Amino acid sequence: MTLSLDVDVAIVGSGFAGALCALALRQRGRRVALIERGRHPRFAIGESTTPLTNLLLEELADRYDLPEIRAFSKWGTWQQAHPDVACGLKRGFTFLFHRLDERVEDDEDHGRQLLVAASPNDEVADTHWYRPDFDRTLVEHAQAAGATYLDETRLDTVRDSGTGMRLSGTRHGRAVEVNAGFVIDASGPRGFLTNALGTGSAPLQWLPPTQGVFTHFEGVDLWENVAPPDGRPPYPPDAAALHHVFPGGWIWVLRFNNGITSAGAALTDPLAARVLASEGAPVWDRLLQALPSVREQFRAARATLPFVHAPRVAFRCREVAGDKWALLPSAAGVIDPLLSTGFPLTLLGVARLLDVLETTAPGAERQAALAAYARTTQQELDVTEQLVAALYSCMVDPALFKRLSLLYFAAASYSETVRRLGRPHLAPGFLLNEHPQFGAEVRGCAALAADAPQGSARTALFERIDRAIEPFDTAGLLDRTRRDWYPVLAEDLVSSAAKLEASAADVQRLLVRCGLVS
């Protein structure tokens, strides 16, 4: 007999994003089906959060009255409320720049390093999500809130039934039919609706094609043991998203508190061809042969899962929404893990889409709102793609890579602070891309950097980046005496109060409220 469900919203895919949508919609009394082709716990890639990710999670939790989810937005509250859910401590972004076939040696100005702190202490720090635990927990919360969860379900078709969308498939040999007023596609890249509706992918405009190789390991050494820092870094460099950058690609290393470390590489095609990215474990070993210092960090490491080879990391979709369906940003596009942009883009999209469903009724008004949602999603993926593509062009030029990446850090820290101050209009769009000056400057600087400028053009680009950053720099990013080690300092924020259209007292209060000072 067919399993038949009538719901207000069907959500395809039960990663953290699908589960969060389900939870929020249940809090508003909607009937929800959450449909998953696999089952939890399961491995998922995409693990490292940022201050903006966690602020967006906090905002969603507050808006939908989900205190148990809010606890996941900081290391301290997570450890207190959910010690059984594994995660990693992320105090910042650590970049180390390598030349192929050479050990990494640095100078006293940290020419081959960039350390950008994201938090002043562990209590309020960001985390790496151990997705097998994290996603399962969120799904359990969604079920407890009354969402109907169908795992191990294969969806075959979707069609417009006039009043809604009808999804058909099978579960454990039994036919399944879900009639929904609206479908949210949370099934990740190259996901369900893109295939079922045949809406198709879109070409990348800026990024070179890249391949991914990744898995989970145990026994990965601390980078601090391989290359002890000279002096006192702004945070322990391993309690971070550790990026080993080299010509043609980069490696991420993310440590969890259960002995597991996530690591993988994103490689441009020429480098992937050199190490034959499709052969799993031998590729990893061959890549590390060319990176002696990283090889040392992994000398005692053992993969705990089979290697995954992603023949194409990045993906863009042509269409993001129709009148009764929408893709989350994570289904609409993946750019690259380089700046941990996937989660904030996804959560921005979750908040916007929930807003559309809450504030519009089916019809012309909703259609217009969904068209705006689709436009914003594509624009935010565009600016991310353009900036990350430019960073790929600079992997042979650490100084330019570092300076360009400060555009990201300036936008991220400014956006977080103005949102926390209740002035989100000051930072419109992801990476401030809708800001008339800053958005244009990010695109302009990225376009120039992509051409690998030399001589006076390169110097002019450095100056242009500094000018673009200055009005938004609330983190001392232009202070060269910091030698590319950037701590989180209360005084930087206080002295930037005018840029935030706030008083020093407003900023002081914010710092206390957010646990940044006691």
Ligand X SMILES: Cc1cc2nc3c(=O)[nH]c(=O)nc-3n(C[C@H](O)[C@H](O)[C@H](O)COP(=O)(O)OP(=O)(O)OC[C@H]3O[C@@H](n4cnc5c(N)ncnc54)[C@H](O)[C@@H]3O)c2cc1C
* Choice from 9, 11, 17, 406 touching ligand X (CB under 6 A): 17
Q: How far is the CB of 214 from ligand X (least distance, A)?
A: 6
Residue 391 tokens read as 């960073």
Q: Locate tokens 């769009």: which residue?
A: 429
349 scored as a contact of ligand X (CB under 6 A): no
**Token pair of 482 as six digits:** 């910091």
E strand or H helix at 252, and its extent?
strand 249-255
Question: For tokens 């949370």, what's the residue?
Answer: 186
For tokens 């720090």, name the residue. 125
4: left (phi over 0), alpha (psi -120 to 50) or beta: beta
Q: Which is nearer to ligand X, 335 or 511 (CB)?
A: 335
The count of residues interacting with ligand X (CB under 6 A) is: 34
* Residue 36 binds to ligand X (criterion: CB under 6 A): yes
Residue in 212, 234, 322, 398 binding ligand X, rule: CB under 6 A? 212
Q: Which of residues 302-321 bind ligand X (CB under 6 A)?
A: 313
For 261, the enclosing helix (H) or strand (E) is strand 260-268
CA distance 492 to 37: 48
Q: Is 132 in the site for ligand X (CB under 6 A)?
A: no
Instruction: Kindly state the helix (H) or strand (E) to which residue 180 belongs, with its residue range.
Output: strand 174-185
CB of 40 to ligand X, least distance (A): 8
The span of 10-18, 441-449, 467-475, 501-509 binding ligand X (CB under 6 A) equals: 10-18
With beta carbons less than 8 A apart as the criterion, state whether 394 and 452 touch: yes
Per CB under 6 A, does 127 bind ligand X? Answer: no
Shortest distance, position 376 Cβ to ligand X, whole Å? 16
Which part of the chain contacts ligand X (CB under 6 A), choosing from 40-48, 360-368, 414-422, 428-436?
40-48
Q: Minimum distance between the CB of residue 190 and ligand X, rounded to whole angstroms?
A: 8
Nearer to ligand X, 28 or 190 (CB): 190
∠ CA 182-131-12, rounded to 5°: 15
Strand pairing class (126-129; 87-90): antiparallel
Distance CA 458, CA 444 (A): 13
| Stretch of 37-45, 74-82, 97-105, 467-475 contacting ligand X, by CB under 6 A | 37-45
Question: Applying CB under 6 A, which of residues 334, 404, 432, 510 lies at the interface with ligand X?
Answer: 334
Neighbours of 308 (CB within 10 A): 13
- Asked if 12 is part of the footprint of ligand X (rule: CB under 6 A), the reply reads yes
Residue whose pair of structure tokens reads 């080879």 in the numeric block: 309
Instruction: Please identify which residue in 13, 120, 398, 476 interacts with ligand X, judged by CB under 6 A.
Output: 13
The site string for ligand X over 45-84 (x = CB under 6 A, - otherwise) reads xxxx------------------------------------
Which region, judged by CB under 6 A, interacts with ligand X, from 41-49, 105-113, 290-298, 472-480?
41-49
**Cβ atoms of residues 72 and 153 within 8 Å:** no
With contact defined as beta carbons under 8 Å apart, do 249 and 265 qualify? yes
Distance of closest approach, residue 464 Cβ to ligand X, in angstroms? 28
333 is an interface residue for ligand X by CB under 6 A: no
Which residues inside 154-183 make contact with ligand X, applying CB under 6 A? 155
Give the phi and the psi of residue 318 in degrees, each rounded to 5. -75, -45
| Preceding amide of 234 cis, omega within 30 | no
Write a three-state SS string for 278-331.
Answer: HHCHHHHHHHHHCCHHHHHHCCCCEECCCCEEECCCCEEECCCECCCEEECHHH
340 is an interface residue for ligand X by CB under 6 A: yes
Binding to ligand X by CB under 6 A, coded x per residue (else -) over 404-443, reads: ----------------------------------------
Q: How many CB atoms lie within 10 A of CB 5?
A: 17
Binding residue for ligand X, selected from 7, 10, 15, 380, defined by CB under 6 A: 15
Q: Which is nearer to ligand X, 341 or 393 (CB)?
A: 341
Taking the CA of residue 453 as centre, how many other CA atoms within 13 Å lie in the half-sphere pointing to its CB?
A: 20
457-516: contacts with ligand X (CB under 6 A): none
The sign of the torsion formed by the CA atoms of 276, 279, 280, 281 equals negative
Window of 175-183, 282-290, 340-348, 380-388 that interacts with ligand X by CB under 6 A: 340-348
In the list 3, 8, 37, 309, the residue contacting ligand X (rule: CB under 6 A) is: 37
Sequence length of the chain is 518
Q: What are phi and psi of 382, to 5 degrees?
A: -60, -50
Q: Which is nearer to ligand X, 50 or 496 (CB)?
A: 50
Q: CB-based burial of residue 114 (10 Å sphere; 0-12 exposed, 13-18 middle, 19+ buried)? A: buried
Q: What is the DSSP-derived secondary structure letter of residue 48?
A: B
We find the least distance from the C-beta atom of residue 491 to ligand X, in angstroms, to be 29
Q: Which two tokens stand for residue 321?
A: 């929404």
Any contact of residue 380 with ligand X (CB under 6 A)? no
Q: Is 88 in the site for ligand X (CB under 6 A)?
A: no
Interface with ligand X, residue 215, by CB under 6 A? no
Q: Which part of the chain contacts ligand X (CB under 6 A), choosing from 83-91, 198-206, 222-230, 339-347?
A: 339-347
265 touching ligand X, by CB under 6 A: no
Q: Would you count residue 342 as binding ligand X (CB under 6 A)?
A: yes
| Residue numbers at the binding site for ligand X (CB under 6 A) | 12-18, 35-38, 44-48, 155, 186-188, 191-192, 212, 214, 264, 313, 328, 330, 334, 337, 340, 342-343, 346
